[in-house]
Amino acid sequence: MPHWECAIEGDTDRFDRVEDLIIHQATEHDRIECQVCGTVLPDGYFAIRHAFDEHSRAEYVRAYDATSDEVRRREKVKEAIEENADINEVIDRLEGNGRTA
């Protein structure tokens, strides 16, 4: 049973592989603008990664009016994806190199 759910704007699409989820988020959903720095990037994993790798928790909380529970939830999502995903495969696929597992 697929266990990776998109969850962007109520999207309930599910995927067996986390790499397929990330590709879906990057290609099937609109890009968003970071409320901290204005960078435009894919919604979902890439937005979460950007927010927590490029900005402090305090900046994120202020810009998104986020609660500590919302921050922890996104940190857990980022951690789970990074523990399971082959990010190099995702990048190759997004760049059109077509590599899949």
Please state, for a pLDDT cut of 70, what percent of the chain lies above it: 93
Each residue's pLDDT tens digit, 74-100? 999 999 999 999 999 999 999 986 555
For 50-83, the DSSP string reads: HHHHHS-HHHHHHHHT--HHHHHHHHHHHHHHHH
pTM of the complete model: 0.87
Which residues of the chain, if any, have pLDDT below 50? none
What pLDDT was estimated at residue 12? Answer: 94
Q: What value does the mean pLDDT of the chain take?
A: 93
Instruction: Return d(Cα 78, Cα 18) in angstroms, integer.
Output: 11
